[in-house]
A and B are shown apart, each in its own frame.
Chain A
Amino acid sequence: MAIRETFDILTKPNIKVMLKQEVTANTKASLSTIKKLLYSEELPVTITTAICSVYIELVNNVRMHSAQRKRADAPLGLLLVGRDEDSIYLQSMNIVTNEKVSDIDTKLNRMNSHIKKELRMYYRHRRKFDNPNEESDGAGLGLIEIAKRAKAPVDYEFRASHEGFSLFTMLVVFEIVEEL
Chain B
Amino acid sequence: MNVKLELPKTESTPYVLLDSEKCYMTFKGECYSENVIDFFKNITVWLTEFLASNFAELDFDCELDYFNSSSSKMLYNILLALDESASKGKKININWYVDPENDVLIEHGEDFQEELKHANFNIIHKL
Number of residue pairs across A and B with beta carbons under 8 Å?
A: 74
A28-B12, A132-B74 in contact; A142/B103 too (CB < 8 A)? no
B101 at the interface (CB under 8 A from A): yes
In the complex, chain A residues 100-122 whose Cβ is within 8 Å of any chain B Cβ: 120
A32 touches B11 (CB 8 A): yes
Q: How many residues of A contact B (CB 8 A)?
A: 31
Minimum CB–CB distance from A150 to chain B (whole Å) comes to: 12
Chain B proximity mask over A64-80: 1 for CB below 8 Å, otherwise 0: 00000000000000000
- For chain B, the bracket of interface size reads 20 to 34
**0/1 interface trace, chain A 57-97, chain B, CB 8 Å (1 if under):** 10010010000000000000000000000000000000000
Cβ contact within 8 Å between A56 and B73: no
Binds A, one of B19-27, B32-40, B46-54, B85-93: B32-40
Contacts A46-B101, A120-B111, A149-B104; is A136 near B70 (CB within 8 Å)? yes
0 or 1 for each of B26-68: is its CB under 8 Å from A? (1 = yes): 0000001010110000000000000000000000000001101
**Interchain CB contact under 8 A, B69 and A144:** yes
Q: Chain A residues with Cβ under 8 A from B115's Cβ?
A: 124, 128
Task: Provide the main secondary structure of the chain B interface.
Answer: helix
Query: In whole angstroms, how far apart are the Cα atoms of A115 and B104 in the complex?
Result: 16
Q: Which residues of A does B touch, CB under 8 Å? A: 24, 27-28, 31-32, 44-46, 49-50, 52-53, 56-57, 60, 63, 120, 123-124, 127-128, 130, 132, 135-136, 140-142, 144-145, 149
20 contacts between A and B (CB under 8 A): A28-B12, A31-B11, A31-B32, A32-B11, A49-B105, A53-B104, A120-B111, A123-B111, A124-B111, A124-B115, A128-B115, A132-B37, A132-B77, A136-B36, A141-B69, A141-B70, A142-B68, A142-B70, A145-B68, A145-B72
Known A-B contacts: A27-B34, A60-B34. Give 12 more (CB < 8 A). A31-B11, A44-B101, A45-B101, A46-B103, A57-B68, A124-B115, A127-B72, A132-B37, A135-B73, A142-B70, A145-B68, A145-B72
